[in-house]
Amino acid sequence: MSLTETTKAPTTGATKKPATVFVDGGSGTTGLGINERLKQSDVAVKTIADDKRKDPAAKKALMEEVDLVILCLPDDAAKETVALIDSMGPSGPKVLDASTAYRVAPDWAYGFPELTPDQAGKIKAAKKVSNPGCYPTGAIALLRPIVDAGLLPHDYPITVNAVSGYSGGGKSMIASFEDGTAPSFELYGLGFEHKHLPEMQLYSNLTRRPIFIPSVGNYRQGMLVSVPLQLDTLPGKPSGADLQAALAKRYAGSKYVSVMPLQNEATKGGKLEPEALNETNMLELHVFASDKYHQAVLVARLDNLGKGASGAAVQNMRLMLGLPEE
């Protein structure tokens, strides 16, 4: 059995050698999504034989042949592979890690290109990038612009509520929903130690730890992340229109993040379902506001397997390899 196989990128008559990528852990949900997205990509994907996947020497030999490694592994396994890449010195490949192991590490670039105006450039220049979590992607996208704009204090007591399809919960959760043994809906993470909280706080630029209440519904994929706000408790008492304007300014010209029109009493809005962006890398940001009650709810809608995982990974991969947006 050969050590590796290469899935060749489609040729268009150009002679330039395509960039090469290895997806380590390609059998999990995120890895499968990445590989599916790369089937018609302009990169060459190398794979390792099944009997060599846990062989450090074989893995190192493969990684010496690629430009970038995407890790779709548990945290401890990701750390082992990163240590192996580090041992290769300057000749080692770039690495994009989809685990939680390095999301708040100071020497890793955070892989949310829309975080700040210069974040995409940081990702492009980085050798190590951490792919964001699905829930933090929505929460940070909503909170960071209004914190940076001075509309929300850094120490404001934030609550983040969210619901995801069961595909984000790993193999055991997926199996329980698909065999009918899981409940129709449940809250979880009620021990206040959810693994997404550190990055949610850090990259939202908050000094006070948010309360985060995730939940899972009996549908496969799609996510809503919501943040309720009492507007009359905020400095300057901003309106819903002020919040929507701050979001629109931050994401003006973004390919993947759309800020939707303000919904208030006049627009008679009031419903939002989680599955509309499935199979895309899009992220929608909504502001629902009441001038009468001085309240607002900010909502992010995304595919937890798209912009929340595999889609974001491919977006970051393209930046890291100097390739154009798809």
**Structure-token pair, residue 281:** 């890398």
170: left (phi over 0), alpha (psi -120 to 50) or beta: left
Q: How many angstroms separate the most distant Cα atoms in the chain?
A: 70
Let me know: does 221 contact 165? Beta carbons within 8 Å: yes
> How far apart are alpha carbons 211 and 163 in whole angstroms?
15
> Which residues does 289 contact at the CB level (< 8 Å), separation at least 6?
231, 239, 240, 241, 243, 244, 262, 263, 264, 295, 296, 297
**Structure-token pair, residue 132:** 């964001």
72: annotated active-site residue: no
Let me know: does 204 contact 135? Beta carbons within 8 Å: no
Q: Which of 38, 126, 134, 289 is catalytic?
A: 134
Active site residues: 134
